[in-house]
Amino acid sequence: MTLPKINEYESYIYRCIHCRACRFCYSGEPDRTGYGSYTGILMNCTAGKKYGWESHFGSGKVWMARALIEGTIQPSEEMADILLRCPTCGNCQVQCDNNIPTTEIIEAMRATCVDAGIPPHQKHHAFLESIKANNNPYQEKHEMRTSWTQGLKAEKADLVYFVGCTAAYRQSDVARATARLLEKLGLNFSVLRDEVCCGSPALRIGQISVVKKLIEKNLEAVRHAGAKKVLFSCAGCYRTFRVDYPKYVGELPFEVVHAVEFFSDLLDKKLLTPSKPFSQKVTWHDPCHLGRHITAHMKGRASIETPDVKKFRQEWFERPRRILRSIPGVELREMYRNREDAWCCGAGGGVKSAYPDLASETAQERIKEAEAAGANSLITACPFCLTNLSEAVRAMSSNMTILDLFQLLDRTI
Amino acid sequence: MHLTVKYGPLENDLTLDGVSMVEYARPSPKVIDELKVIVGQEFVTTSRPILASYVAKGIMGLECTVADAVVRPRTVEEIQRILRLAGSERIPVTPTSGGLSGGFACPFVEPGGILLDLSRMDRILEVDVDCRYMVVEPGVTSGAAWSYFRSNYPHLAPPIPDGAPPAATLLGDAIERGFSLVTNKYGPQADLVLGMEVVLPTGAIIRTGSWALPGAKPFYKWGLGPDLGGLFLGAQGTMGVVTKLAIKVLPHTEHKDLIAYGFETVEDMVEATFEVLKKEICVLVQCGNWWLVPTRIAPEAEVSSQKDFWSKAGVPEWFSNFEIWGRDEEDLNYQRRIIHSVMGEAKKRGIRAEEWKLHPKQKASRLTKPNKIAIPYALFRGSFLFITWYTPWKDASQFCRIAEEKMTSYKIPPILWVASIEHGREAICMPIVCFDPTKPDELKKVQDFNRDTTDVFLSKGWLNYRPDPKIHSRKTFSMASDYFDLLKRIKSVLDPDGIMHPGRLTLP
């Protein structure tokens, strides 16, 4: 079980002409207008913006990859440090007109460093050890994973809710809200008692070997539950099951669905009707793992977006917005950088634990953008984004309310 | 470590009479420490992965050297101190403005020396709406400049490069005499330059044009007596570091259109287009052959090389795009009528010209500025070179015929692009050489083609744009040895230690 090595991306890596368009949002839409300083083509690379070296932009990493292939540089702690200062948000990938899968290349370079024996960052080492020992990266006991489920039945059901480590241990309100929503809708579901970390924290930093057992355990847990559909409230877990797991085990014997997708379908069928008002100016933060990671995956290696993929992309990003608009009192204020051009929260790719200053500055920029859009509530659907953005709000003493979409939905149903 | 580098214009033997021999040093740990004192610890690096990330091969050249250090200054004073230090230690310095304006700015000689990454100097310092110029630092990108003007001066347009991605810088494109969004009307980008502030390798600062007079605005491009500005335009960083650029801004309009005509032969294209050009109405006129369309799509599209498919889809064998800007719709209609009328007259003379009705998306992709239109050629074979030559307009058809024949003989898809400069007074002609960069034999083939055609094109009196040191510069200067000799002596005055981007123009 190994991910493709860096050499397997050679043809894509050599495609980079170093045009550097990948550092922007709306890189092909110079006449797009927004508000204040949020207008036109803007810098959209979190690491590049903070550090400024070419190596910290997507284009520079691709040229590092080329040097790695050509043997002019070798894996090193120095290289790993550069690579890991990137939340792998995927902006560079969606901006690239030469369709270079930069996110995969960065992850493959990280894996190459691991294979070469480069030790993990101290913070990463800690969570990797915790994953191995406790099945979660938070140093929490495995048996406490379902402590939030008091009162919930654990029967077999076609639908199982995969909670994920962050909602289980750090954002249990999200887990409870999601479960309550399912109950309110009268849906028969269960929570996996033997769920373990999905592996995303390890995969994103190139620690492939850690993931094998996690995949096996999770697949067995789903099999044991007899589930036909697995529901996620976590963007990262969903991305990992949908995009990464099939690379290792082939097509999954069950359907994976994110709760945004799930509840927006129910909304469309009028089976979900928010009735209690939330009279706020609300903005939506597109989590990278739920947003462009999924649409880029759907596009695949094709250089041209087919009409079907385009339709999927447009519809995919519209789903959470449709839910928000359905809530009485919600006034939706779109941030300038949205959908595939969204500014990342800064937490992903191992950044939050190892480089908290980058994660915090990135999240604070997002809060400023939300404020500039006139919003007083920022809603998202990723417990990791939720954590990082909430911390940014506290650091800035901002009045912005940060909520998970399912917490909000739970309040309005 | 010291390396001795010899320079000269001959291709195979650099040791001809009068050639310079220069010994360069790598930046020592002591020098690195001094650089950190100058710009701050966090803006100097010798990290090998970071150095590797600055390498660029493709678009305008295939050879470059990895720098020994990258330094990111913020101020003119820092640049003065860096150059004085580099001069005293004889360390090469290569400035790059932060973008990649259709080319590359990497060190050329070994040792690579210091790469000056000027991207932190990214301020638009001034917009003078009366004299209609802007003053920018090196790192101002075309994307940033465009957004700034759309927000603040929508009736004016910054002269951004056309066809270059949004990271390309105004200053980089201007001092390389590049192609802008209005080159057909106003000439090469350098023609719009009103003044420059340059830090010379000695650390001295000069300004050009009217700006040379202390207290004067950069309102007039000619300076105090013979203007020195030309020494820094097309110099590719060999003469000094341009730290400020005053450049004209242009009237902008929302009334734009693109009209295209197709032709059966390149001769018809050049002749009929010339008649339109002489009317002096279009801001941009770009032409080419059918290959330009499919090669921007992808190799996985199996039809990409099938001429019949594209012909049936309505893509002409050769075509011209006429981009027009009008004060209003009436003005635009007037220009449309002229183009159609001229083409009608051409048809009466036997030229097979037909209007190519473009899809609105095709028009939009061209009219959007800055656009990413030049980027996807890498999809076709993996990478590409723009090998760019200047010719008189009427020579463009001969250029294309020669290039087409040569490309075919080298088994290179004959993708050809031609554009007008100053209403057809000159042409810019460009074989777009798409190749697989992972195959060494492909790289050799491309370089062989480049050398072969250079001999032919120079013999015709055509000039290369942004010459490759190993291919174009040597041959060009070997044909103009007196000019090269004077240039070398001028450079030795400006850059007595020969530290500025050595080798780039075959100059020490």
Say if residues A152 and A191 touch (Cβ distance below 8 Å). yes
Size of interface A-B (CB pairs under 8 A): 157
Which tokens hold the place of B500?
A: 């500025």
Query: What helix, strand, coil percent values describe chain A, rounded to 5?
Result: 55, 10, 40
pLDDT score for B15? 36
| CB atoms A20 and B384 under 8 Å | no
Q: Using a CB cutoff of 8 Å and minimum separation of 24, what contacts does B30-37 make?
A: B31/B85, B31/B89, B31/B91, B32/B69, B34/B85, B35/B69, B35/B71, B35/B82, B35/B85, B35/B114
| CB atoms B384 and A29 under 8 Å | no
For A73, which of B49, B144, B376 is closest by C-beta distance?
A: B49
pLDDT score for B61? 86
Average pLDDT over residues A285-299: 97
Residue A355 has, within 13 A of its CA and on its CB side, a CA count of: 23
Which residues of A fall within a CB distance of 8 Å from B48?
Answer: 73, 76, 78
Give the best residue of A12, A37, A42, A54 to mutate against chain B (max B CB count within 10 A): A54
CA distances for A343 relative to A24, A47, A371, B273, B407, angstroms: 10, 11, 14, 45, 44
Phi first, then psi: give them for residue B80, nearest 5 degrees.
-55, -45
CATH code: domain A133-267 is: 3.40.50.1860
On whether any CB of chain B is under 8 Å from the CB of A35, the answer is no
Say if residues B268 and B226 touch (Cβ distance below 8 Å). no
Among A326, A328, A363, CA closest to A347: A363
On whether any CB of chain B is under 8 Å from the CB of A27, the answer is yes
What residues 42-101 of chain B have any CB closer than 8 A to a CB of chain A? 43, 45, 47-50, 52-56, 58-59, 66, 70, 72, 99-100
pLDDT score for B162? 87
What does the alpha-carbon distance between residue A370 and residue A259 come to, in Å, rounded to a whole number? 23
Q: How many beta carbons lie within 10 A of that of residue B496, not counting itself?
A: 12
Higher model confidence: residue B504 or residue A81? A81
Q: What is the pLDDT of residues A229-258, one digit of tens each?
A: 999 999 999 999 999 999 999 999 999 999
For A97, which of B49, B53, B376 is closest by C-beta distance?
A: B376
Sequence ranges of the domains in chain B: 1-252+481-508, 255-466
Strand runs (DSSP E) across B356-503, as ranges? Answer: 383-386, 389-392, 415-421, 426-435, 463-464
Respond yes or no on whether the N-terminal peptide bond of residue B111 is cis (omega within 30° of 0): yes
Kind of pairing, strands B205-207 and B193-199?
Answer: antiparallel
* Fold annotation for B1-252+481-508: 3.30.465
Low-confidence stretches of chain B (pLDDT beneath 50): 1-4, 7-19, 101
Average pLDDT over residues A324-334: 98
What does the alpha-carbon distance between residue B110 and residue B6 come to, in Å, rounded to a whole number? 11
pLDDT tier at A3, thresholds 50, 70, 90: low
Q: What is the pLDDT of residues A33-80, one digit of tens each?
A: 999 999 999 999 999 999 999 999 999 999 999 999 999 999 999 999
On whether any CB of chain B is under 8 Å from the CB of A70, the answer is no
What residues 98-137 of chain A have any CB closer than 8 A to a CB of chain B? 98-99
CATH 3.40.462.10 for the B255-466 domain, yes or no: yes
On whether any CB of chain B is under 8 Å from the CB of A21, the answer is yes
On whether any CB of chain A is under 8 Å from the CB of B117, the answer is yes
| CB atoms B47 and A21 under 8 Å | no
The dihedral through the CA atoms of A213, A215, A218, A221 has a sign that is negative
DSSP secondary structure code for residue B102 in this structure = S
CATH code: domain A6-115 is: 1.10.1060
Sequence ranges of the domains in chain A: 6-115, 133-267, 270-412
Same fold, A6-115 and A133-267: no
Top-level class of domain A270-412: alpha beta
Which residues of B fall within a CB distance of 8 Å from A303?
Answer: 297-298, 300-301, 376, 379
ipTM value for the complex: 0.95
Helix axes A77-84 and A58-70, enclosed angle (nearest 10):
150
pLDDT score for B18? 40
pLDDT score for B20? 53
